[in-house]
A and B are shown apart, each in its own frame.
Chain A
Amino acid sequence: MPNLLRTIQLAMKSLMLHKLRAGLTMLGMVLGVSSVIAMLAIGRGAKEQAQKQVLKLGATNIIIRSVKPPPESAVNSGGASVLRYGLLRKDYDLLNKTIPTITQAIPIRELNKAAWHRHHEITARIVGCTADYLDINHLNMAQGRFITDDDRQQKKNIAVLASGTADELFQYENPVRQSVKIGSKFYRIVGVTIPRQASAAIGGSMSGQDYNQDIYIPLETMRVRMGDLNIDRTAGSFSSEYWELSQVTLRVDSQDRVVETANVIRESMKQNHKTDSDYAIVVPLELLKQAEQMGIIFNVVLGSIAAISLLVGGIGIMNIMLATVTERTREIGIRRALGARRRDITIQFLTETIVLSGTGGIIGILLGLSTKYAFAGIRTFVESFIFEGGKAGSDFAKMFSEMRPEPVPWSLPLAFFISVGIGIIFGIYPARAAAKLDPIEALRHE
């Protein structure tokens, strides 16, 4: 085997004879290899995104949320009448008592209301909840304590502030043991939570939750002090809505039984609801499956692009190398006369092909690594032109907009070896054709 480094160096020299030609020949490889990298990066990104979401929401959880029905159904009930919708305490009891695989059911009710401390006023999300809320949403206390079962039983007038709320209402004071006014009533503050990153939106039914603008009060306290009816008076209009619970988070005893439990829940919910338009069931575990399917779709599409590009790229390389061999027949004759064996000629042209495809591969890898940024650009474009103001049309579009490609480390050497392999596969024939030439005829070639 001749000196490898020198062989590569000389191969580059020969390729540099036709820079444009070499560049164009590499394009197929570049595209193919970058598709391989991108494919794996997108697949990984989608999976990680889903896993992160599932981890946040809990893989064994099933979440049922009240959904305000679309306006058409409200029109029927008349302008000023009460719009009733959403989860009922009946639902909660039914699910909690009849489904044995559910180990824990955590109800909450939430509404937006103004809250005051002295002259500071903010609109906060008031969450009526139970002691489990803290744990299930991965919240932690900065100081004081969270709501306890005791608070609920005694329907105490206490509140726990989220960090953002605390900062805005009590700018330079310690909020604990002070009071906050919600609506017309006062609540004693017993604790403040640590800031938590907003959760991602899930499914098509929930928007992202910002946990930092909340005020937590015991669920029972909310019921007795605020009732289930919420009247909203805004300029010139008057609307009242009635809902009992905003969300119930159900914990299933094992991950294997999440899907069947979800199916049972879907059936059970029909008992108290005529339509399924006023609630939504979100199963985080199903999101993971959905993400995996998405990943497969992307992999098939990009995989086909990669395969076709690599094939076409390989054929292009072979074509150019055949042309090169014809063009350099004289050179082959000279080398043979000066003592090159057939094998030396094969190695020479094979090296040139591999250098060509390998360089294409390296450029492709760099391009593939930039997928992350390219993807962000494409997403911005797609979102602003197709989704009309951020409203995702379908689950697909939604997934797309949440996807964050993450390059997979082992895909880099893989892609490089693929490009080298393509060089060998498509380079061997031209190289052997070159080696087979008769030296005398090659020397005579004009």
Chain B
Amino acid sequence: MKLAAQVIDIQKHYDLGSVVVKALRGVSVDFPHGDFVAIMGASGSGKSTLLNLLGALDRPTHGEYIIGGRPVSSISDDDLSAIRNEMIGFIFQSYNLIPQYTVIENIEVPLHYRAGYPSISAKDRKHIMELGDMVGLGDRMDHRPYQLSGGQQQRVAIARALVNNPQIILADEPTGNLDSSTEAEIMEILCNLNAEGRTIIMVTHENSVAKMAKRQIFMKDGIVAGEGFFPG
């Protein structure tokens, strides 16, 4: 099976002057295409650090990260930005929309940073509207984030994550701030995306959410403590 992403024995150390914190101490995981993984673990287990590395927001101290066939451990900052723009879609716990922008403008943001800076075309606009429909925001495209509920804001974030058609969706506790019924709706969207063939890597500590992924990875003290199918 072809891999969407792969981490090989990566380590991440934080030099705090007097001590060196080893947040990741050699993690190797394969993410095949179409995978839906839930990364679980207590706080401080290194799951956020792993997600940051997977998201190309950071480089590992040691080891290799390969995404879409490209090793990214030692590429330039600009190239990392390009990887994030083209290959990864982010969904955050706190939605992270830009407050002064409307829904459409928020979804548009990744388009501004495409390689070569092409202008936003009519085709792009159509694509944005389709994404809006898909996540169920049809009539709210001109609203601003503060006019939307949490669930609606997360839908905007999902549409934004999809706008550049990335291979991998990284979700950092996507339902952490939502009530259970909204949680179910958001998870349904993610499951649908996975069913369409997108690779989803999700950090969560809620069993109910993790259960909906295809497999789970448990982290503890910077290493993968267990892997398998819930309740594994």
Q: Which residues of B contact A (CB under 8 A)?
A: 52, 55, 57-58, 77-78, 81-82, 84-86, 90, 92, 96-101, 105, 109-110, 112-114, 117, 119-120, 160, 164
Q: How far is the CB of A396 from chain B (nearest CB, A)?
A: 52
Q: How far is the CA of A333 from the CA of B117 in the complex (A)?
A: 20
User: How many residues of chain A have a CB within 8 Å of chain B?
Assistant: 26
Q: For the complex, give the distance between the alpha carbons of A344 and B113 in Å.
A: 8
Contact yes or no, B98 A331, CB < 8 A: yes
- CB of A338 within 8 A of CB of B113, answer yes
Q: Answer yes or no: A17 CB below 8 A from chain B CBs.
A: yes
With a cutoff of 8 Å between Cβ atoms, the chain B residues found around residue A338 in the complex are 84-85, 90, 109-110, 113, 160
Which residues of B lie under 8 Å from residue A331 when comparing CB positions? 98-99
**A2 in contact with B117 (CB, 8 Å):** yes
Q: A439-B57, A440-B57, A443-B96 are contacts. A339–B113 as well, Cβ < 8 Å?
A: yes
In this complex, the member of B52, B57, B81, B82 whose beta carbon has the largest number of chain A beta carbons within 10 angstroms is B81
Q: Which residues of B contact A334 (CB under 8 A)?
A: 96-98, 109
Which of B82, B114, B117, B160 has the most A CB atoms < 10 Å from its CB? B117
Chain A interface residues toward B at CB < 8 A: 1-3, 6, 10, 13-14, 16-17, 330-331, 333-344, 439-440, 443
**Roughly how many angstroms separate A14 CA and B100 CA in the complex, as a whole number?**
6
Q: Is the CB of A440 within 8 A of B113?
A: no
Summed over the interface, the residue pairs from A and B with CB atoms below 8 Å come to a total of 77
Q: Give, as a whole number of angstroms, the nearest-CB distance from A387 to chain B.
A: 54
Q: Which of B52, B81, B105 contacts A341 (CB 8 A)?
A: B81
Distance, CA A442 to CA B101, complexed state (A): 19
Nearest A residue to B114, CB-CB: A339
B97, B98, B105, B120 pick with most chain A CB within 10 angstroms: B98
> A17-B100, A342-B77 are contacts. A337–B55 as well, Cβ < 8 Å?
yes
- Assembly CA distance A110 to B215 (angstroms): 114
Task: List, in ascending order, chain B residues with CB within 8 A of A440's CB.
Answer: 52, 57-58
- Residue with the highest number of chain A CB atoms closer than 10 Å, among B52, B55, B100, B119: B100
17 A-B Cβ contacts within 8 A?
A3-B117, A3-B120, A6-B112, A6-B120, A17-B100, A331-B98, A334-B98, A334-B109, A338-B85, A338-B110, A338-B113, A342-B77, A342-B81, A344-B112, A440-B52, A440-B57, A443-B57
Q: Which of A1, A3, A340 contacts B81 (CB 8 A)?
A: A340
